[in-house]
């Protein structure tokens, strides 16, 4: 037997619109920044362009995932397509890792053998890039705490915003001192800044793909709460997981005490799980006698 509630897709539609706008802005500027990086011979600018490329890729993937994830469940995908958003976020994290490593390697090469850089053009393009990043961040900020897919895209843009700030600072230093080595140092700094945050995103997405318990949910406390519910003799085969970053689910087998009303107990368990752990998508199976293969099930 189950207890649950529907899911609001309005937020997903809003996120889709914001993603589309941010993607248009980012892609337009990306082309200009790549050309500028080549013309002005700036690794820092090309590094920022590389991150801008991953921004565009992340936003495109996030937009596709957002639309696919909004599809309703069907006979083949009974849980729907929400997990596709998590796959997209994981792919974005891997993409960021690859770009950061490339920038680090190329930066070391240029420290050993610095190349001339046109700092004025580098500065102008970096300032324009910063403006684009700030607009995109503003568009994505509302949905980043409710979707790992949006969070992944937001982190991409956020990292690129920091990169733009680094390029601006580097361009000013080169302009006033002539220290060409600043260009690859800024590029390496961008790469090192991005890596830890990319690791956190990859860890979060992997946890969801492995059907780990959502953050803040202690299964020992969940078991204790259920067992303390009047009419409950025991609990087994308890699972708590998330299909998407904001969609926790729970299932459990609850053994009833003699004479307990199964529907009343089920509703009481559901109410306590919703109130104490914010678990709304529930499937609670009540049993007069524990499953014969209880030992073979998860605890």
What confidence score (pLDDT) does residue 268 get?
92
3-state SS string over the chain?
CEECCCCCCHHHHHHHHHHHHHHHHHHHHHHHHHHHHHHHCCHHHHHHHHHHHHHHHHHHHHHHHHHHHCCCCCCCCCCCCCHHHHHHHHHHHHHHHHHHHHHHHHHHHHHHCCCCCCHHHHHHHHHHHHHHHHHHHHHHCCCCCCCHHHHHHHHHHHHHHHHHHHHHHHHHHHHHHCCCCHHHHHHHHHHHHHHHHHHHHHHHHHHHHCCCCCCCCCHHHHHHHHHCCCCEEEEEEEEEEECCCCCEEEEEEEEECCCCCHHHHHHHHHHHHHHHHCCCEEEEEEECCCCCCHHHCCC
What confidence score (pLDDT) does residue 101 get?
82
Mean pLDDT over all residues of the chain?
A: 78
What confidence score (pLDDT) does residue 51 get?
67
What confidence score (pLDDT) does residue 1 get?
44
Q: How far is CA 282 from CA 5, 24, 238, 249, in A?
A: 9, 40, 11, 6
What confidence score (pLDDT) does residue 18 get?
77
**pLDDT tens by residue, 194-242:** 777 778 878 888 888 888 888 778 888 999 999 999 999 989 888 888 7
* Token pair listed for 263: 């529907």
d(Cα 99, Cα 188) in Å, to the nearest integer? 11
- Of the candidates 281, 128, 295, 135, the one whose C-alpha atom is nearest the C-alpha of residue 214 is 281
Over the chain (299 residues), the average pLDDT of each successive run of 10 is 44 67 82 79 71 73 72 74 76 79 80 77 82 83 68 74 81 84 80 78 83 82 91 89 72 90 90 86 84 53
d(Cα 62, Cα 283) in Å, to the nearest integer? 30
What confidence score (pLDDT) does residue 7 get?
43
| pTM beyond 0.75 | no
User: Do 32 and 44 form a contact (C-beta atoms < 8 A)?
Assistant: no
**pLDDT tens by residue, 104-120:** 887 788 788 777 777 78
d(Cα 215, Cα 218) in Å, to the nearest integer? 8
């Amino acid at each position: 037997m189950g207890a649950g509630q529907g899911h609001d897709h309005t937020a997903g539609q809003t996120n889709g619109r914001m993603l589309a706008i941010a993607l248009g802005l980012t892609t337009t500027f990306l082309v200009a920044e790549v050309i500028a990086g080549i013309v002005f011979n700036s690794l820092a600018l090309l590094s920022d362009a590389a991150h801008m490329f991953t921004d565009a890729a992340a936003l495109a993937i996030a937009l596709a995932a957002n639309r696919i994830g909004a599809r309703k469940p069907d006979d083949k995908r009974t849980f729907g397509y929400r997990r596709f958003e998590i796959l997209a976020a994981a792919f974005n994290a891997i993409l960021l890792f690859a770009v950061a490593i490339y920038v680090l390697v190329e930066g070391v090469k240029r420290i050993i053998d610095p190349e001339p850089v046109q700092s004025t053009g580098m500065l102008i393009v970096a300032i324009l890039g910063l403006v684009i990043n700030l607009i995109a961040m503003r568009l994505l900020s509302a949905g980043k705490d409710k979707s790992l897919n949006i969070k992944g895209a937001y982190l991409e843009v956020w990292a690129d915003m920091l990169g733009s700030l680094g390029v601006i600072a580097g361009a000013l230093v080169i302009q006033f001192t002539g220290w060409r080595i600043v260009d690859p140092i800024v590029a390496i700094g961008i790469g090192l800044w991005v890596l830890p945050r990319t690791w956190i995103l990859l860890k979060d997405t992997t946890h969801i793909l492995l059907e780990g318990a959502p953050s803040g949910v202690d299964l020992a406390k969940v078991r204790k709460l259920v067992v303390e519910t009047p009419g409950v003799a025991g609990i087994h085969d308890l699972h708590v997981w998330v299909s998407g970053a904001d969609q926790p689910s729970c299932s459990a087998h609850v053994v009833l005490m003699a004479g307990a009303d199964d529907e009343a107990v089920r509703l009481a368990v559901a109410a306590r799980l919703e109130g104490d752990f914010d678990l709304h998508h529930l499937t609670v199976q009540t049993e007069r006698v524990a499953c014969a293969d209880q030992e073979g099930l998860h605890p």
